[in-house]
Amino acid sequence: MLTNAPWKEEHLRKEHDYCKLSAIFNFQSLISVILLLICTCAYIRSFAPKLVDRNKEGLLGVFWKLARIGERLSPWLPSSIMAPVRTGRIDENTFEIKKRQPQKPSGIRGGHNNFYVTKKTSISATMKRVEEILHNKGTEIYIHGLGASLNRAMVLALEIQKTFTNGVSLNITTSTVNVTDDLFPMSDEFEMGIRNRPLSAVQIHICRIQV
């Protein structure tokens, strides 16, 4: 019996490890099936919303709820399969508003001489970068501001002009840019949607004057 004891302990340990791995595998399989079902319901609803929305209660209502969960988990859903575009003021108690990243102006490439100003942009840190460019044979820079950052972009441009006195010229161009917000409902009573809104934009071209 003493000789069999180590073998039994080893056998029990292997059985325990096997059961543990089996439980983990079964749990992962269950999660995979649930996620697959959620994605399938959301996909079906994107093409046939009336079919899924027909039953919101009872056993068949589970598929509608799974579709809504899938939509909320996928912020990358194409806007064409979402609710109609909403305009005007949106109640923030009804919808969670997520602002998409604004697109850069057409024809403008990202580079060391393009500065996109936001509300969090540090004027002093940006000034140092601008001075390095204009002092090291750089001839021009572009400052871009959008919406609430317009004033900050103008302040940066004026600081540059003040630093270089008559050594730079400013050319200001204003425009309007359309931005998109994703709307995620707080409850199942409302549908997902998007909101398009116009924002004022400014581009300031600062050029070094050759003396």
Dist. CA 64–CA 72, nearest whole Å: 13
Residues with Cβ within 8 Å of residue 161, at least 6 apart in sequence = 168, 170, 206
Residue 205: alpha-carbon gap to chain centroid = 29
Sign of the dihedral defined by the CA atoms of residues 145, 151, 154, 159, in that order: negative
- Percent composition of the chain: helix, strand, coil (DSSP 3-state, to 5): 45, 25, 30
* Domain residue ranges of the chain, discontinuous segments joined by +: 4-73, 80-208
- Residue 129 pLDDT: 93
Output the six-digit token pair for 89: 């003021």
What per-residue confidence (pLDDT) applies to 78? Answer: 47
For position 54, what pLDDT does the model report? Answer: 65
Burial of 77 (0-12, 13-18, 19+ CB in 10 A): middle
168-185 and 140-146 as β-strands: parallel, antiparallel, unpaired? unpaired
Stretches where the chain sits below pLDDT 50 are: 1-2, 78-82
The pLDDT value recorded for residue 82 is 46
Q: Residue 50: its pLDDT value, please? A: 66
Superfamily per CATH, domain 80-208: Alba-like domain (3.30.110.20)
The pTM (predicted TM-score) of the whole model is: 0.57
Give pLDDT tens digits for 136-170. Answer: 877 899 999 999 899 999 999 999 999 988 788 99
